[in-house]
Amino acid sequence: IFDVLGGLLGQGAPDFLNAAGFSDSPHLMYSGHNKKGEWYQLFQIGFGGVPGRPVGDGPDGHSLWPNFTNVPNEYLEAYFPLRIETYETIPDTGGAGFHRGGNALRVSYRFLEDGEISIHDDRWLTYPWGVNGGTPGARSRKELHRKDGSVELLPSKCDRIKVREGDLLHFDTWGGGGWGDPLMRDPAKVAFDVEAGLVTVEGAKRYGVVLDKNLAVDEKKTASLRARMAKKRGRTKLFDFGGSIAELKKRCKKETGLEPPAQPVFPTWFKPEKATPKARRKAKKKTAARAKKRGKKAA
């Protein structure tokens, strides 16, 4: 809802418009009985990429809420039957922009007891949009690697998935959208992001930046690439959603490995204006009878 409200209100003042990003709280629940018969239950909130903003880049693997902090991995491992094997931001998952979107976070949970997991997450189909020429951030993704070597893609919302001792869950949140034209970003900042592991050498080309083998900016190739990209792209967009809903559904299976969501079907209720006089009289009698019955119960 923060993304939607920000997008609606920000159209009146694009210079103050934020991109979309990590505006929800991905939840993971892991529960069961350990080998001693003792009950355990973990409720974990994940972090992600904060969107690019007029004032600067979005933080990487961060909480949108100012008073939230991550639970130390050592604490989780001490009190729950699991091991955190990976806790890192994912390069290139933040949208490109004059101000870069924050990168998503990957947490890999190795389960040390049989149990069940439930997940509540978003942004698996739609992208966190970029604004003022910025590109969208990456989607979320959940992969369950079974001890037997098989891999299962999990939907963003699932309940009571059985896990066995030794199974590994890769929990990837989503990145933040970029703000502003990425071709206007200082190449030195892009080179710094590559050196810091936030952007890959290939990902730097989304900004039209070419680096040499020493990760220094090749100014001549960068200028040439940016000119070609600007000509091919044309005018920048106020919003870049990564495609319409219809387009995203069409590409869904190929891009996510999951089937596109079904269009919801809403029930068709009684429409008095389209009913025959006889049907209206019948409905009126039923309504009166129900009201009379409720009155007797109240008395």
Inter-residue contact 48 to 101 (CB < 8 Å): no
Q: What is the pLDDT of residue 147?
A: 96
Most confident of 45-59, 141-155, 272-286: 141-155
Q: Kindly report the pTM of this predicted structure.
A: 0.84
| pLDDT number for residue 108 | 97
pLDDT of residue 293: 73
Q: Is the pLDDT at 291 greater than 90, yes or no?
A: no
Average pLDDT over residues 244-262: 94
Given this model, what pLDDT does residue 288 score? 81
Residue 191's pLDDT is 98
Confidence of residue 11 (pLDDT cuts 50, 70, 90): confident
Q: What tens digit of pLDDT does each residue of 80-138 get? A: 999 999 999 999 999 999 999 999 999 999 999 999 999 998 899 999 999 999 999 99
Q: Residue 219 pLDDT more than 80?
A: yes
| Average pLDDT for 172-201 | 97
Distance (Å, whole) CA 192 – CA 33: 47
Which residues are bridge partners to 28 per DSSP? 44, 119
List the one residue out of 169, 27, 40 whose CA is nearest residue 113: 40
DSSP codes, 122-178: --SSS---EETTPPP-PPPEEEEE-TTS-EEEPPSEEEEEEE-TT-EEEEE--PPPP
With a cut of 60, say whether residue 297 has pLDDT above it. Answer: no
2-6, 61-65, 247-251, range with greatest mean pLDDT: 247-251
As a whole number of angstroms, the distance between CA 90 and CA 59 comes to 13
- Residue closest to 152 by CA, chosen among 115, 113, 114, 117: 117
Pairing label, strands 27-33, 115-120? antiparallel
Region of poorest pLDDT, from 52-56, 72-76, 274-278, 287-291: 274-278
User: Residue 3 — very low, low, confident or very high, per pLDDT cuts 50/70/90?
Assistant: confident
Strand order in the sheet with 157-163: 39-45, 27-33, 115-120, 157-163
Q: Nearest-5° angle of CA 288, CA 291, CA 292? A: 85
Name the pLDDT band for 278 (thresholds 50, 70, 90).
confident
Cα dihedral sign for 253, 256, 259, 261?
negative
Domain boundaries in the chain? 2-181+236-256, 270-299
Q: So what's the pLDDT on residue 63?
A: 79
Within 10 Å of residue 109's Cβ, how many Cβ atoms? Answer: 25
85 sits in which H/E element = strand 82-89
Range among 21-30, 120-129, 144-153, 261-270 with highest mean pLDDT value: 144-153
Q: Tell me, what's the pLDDT at 268? A: 66
CA distance 155 to 158: 6
pLDDT in tens, 132-170: 999 999 999 999 999 999 999 999 999 999 999 999 999
**pLDDT at res. 170:** 98
Mean pLDDT computed over 272-289: 73
Collapsing DSSP to helix, strand or coil, 28 comes out as strand
pLDDT of residue 272: 56
137 phi/psi in degrees, rounded to 5: -80, 175
DSSP string, 210-278: -B-TTS-B-HHHHHHHHHHHHHHH-SPPSEE-SS-HHHHHHHHHHHHSSPPPPPP-------GGGS-HH
State the Cα–Cα distance between residues 247 and 226, nearest whole angstrom.
Answer: 27
Distance between CA 60 and CA 278 in Å, rounded?
A: 64
Task: Quote the mean pLDDT of the chain.
Answer: 90
Residues contacting 17, CB < 8 A, separation 6+: 6, 7, 10, 11, 54, 131, 132, 179, 238
